Amino acid sequence: MNNKSIGVFDSGIGGLTVYKALKEKMPNEKVVYLGDTARLPYGSKSKETIIRYSLENAEFLLTKDVKIIVIACNSSSSYAVEALQKKFNIPVLGVIEPGSEAAVKCTNKKVGVIGTSATIASGAYAKIIHEKSKDLEIISKDCPLFVPLVEEGWIDHPATRMIIKEYLEPLKKENIETLVLGCTHYPVLKDVIKEVLGDDITLVDSAQTTAERVYHIFKSLGWLANTDKNRNDEFFVTDFPERFKRVGEIFLKKKIDRVLIADLSLKGE
């Protein structure tokens, strides 16, 4: 048993999809969440910058006595998992590996992957999917407009439907069987994406598979918490807590009471 917290970071608000999945799977675990809202978006930044930001985020979470670091951000998971695993001596898990595994399980021939420009340019999903199943054909596409649409709260909106069509029709024409939603924000658009793609294409949401992976890691290490459900999770951002609260409700469909500013100059060592 290990009653330390789960540390989760994202470039901002989108990682709340991973937070939600973790809490659904393990309600007894306490989560400390950091959204790097001052430096968002990561999806249009370089590998070096994303790694630097990710290291700083992890160092902050380590000051909160966490037992694992979950990188909820796909852009950050694409580039920074190894750097963090090398530097810190607690488990570090990104969303790409669990998402890829789920995709491989439900695809015979062709899988589509969508994400931010950074995630798609990294080729991280394609690499891991091919390691697991070398004959699968992978069609990747960056969809940079999806994040701002979600942040704006334009979920069931004609403009959103039009943009989803524009990005995803070509993948549909390619007859993909599965589509990996390789970005924190995309699960929020699931219903509209389903409407555009039809029922024959399976959507893979890496948030859920990541939560399952964390559960299995804890189970195998005997690290599941045995506290009651009332331990309060903690939310930190690097800028603009009010906005995080407001947009966060779109993700969680409930209120977030307290969001504090994180001081990233606090080092974990």
Stretch near ligand DGL under the rule CB under 6 A, chosen from 96-104, 182-190, 219-227, 258-266? 182-190
User: Which residue of 20, 23, 67, 185 would you call a contact of ligand DGL, by CB under 6 A?
Assistant: 185
Cross-strand pairs, 112: 139, 179
**Quick check: 140 binds ligand DGL (CB under 6 A)?**
no
Task: Give the separation between CA 193 and CA 206, rounded to whole angstroms.
Answer: 15
Chain-centre distance for alpha carbon 241: 20
Cβ burial of 265 (10 Å; 0-12, 13-18, 19+) is: exposed
143 is known as an active-site residue? no
Bond before 41 cis per omega within 30 degrees: yes
Task: Give the separation between CA 44 and CA 144, rounded to whole angstroms.
Answer: 8
**Quick check: 237 binds ligand DGL (CB under 6 A)?**
no
Rounded least distance, CB 146 to ligand DGL, Å: 9
Cross-strand pairs, 9: 34, 71
Contact between residue 145 and residue 163 where contact means Cβ atoms under 8 Å apart: yes
Residues 141-170 that bind ligand DGL (CB under 6 A): 147
106 is known as an active-site residue? no
Stretch near ligand DGL under the rule CB under 6 A, chosen from 6-14, 49-57, 190-198, 202-210? 6-14
Rounded least distance, CB 161 to ligand DGL, Å: 21
Q: Kindly compute the dihedral angle of the four CA atoms of residues 182, 159, 148, 99, in this order, to the nearest 10 degrees.
A: -10
| Matching residue, tokens 């004959």 | 135
Stretch near ligand DGL under the rule CB under 6 A, chosen from 69-77, 103-111, 126-134, 254-262? 69-77
- Of 183, 192, 197, 264, catalytic: 183
- The binding track of 13-42 with respect to ligand DGL, each residue x by CB under 6 A or -, is -x-------------------------xxx
The binding site for ligand DGL (CB under 6 A) comprises 10-12, 14, 40-43, 73-75, 116, 119, 147, 183-185
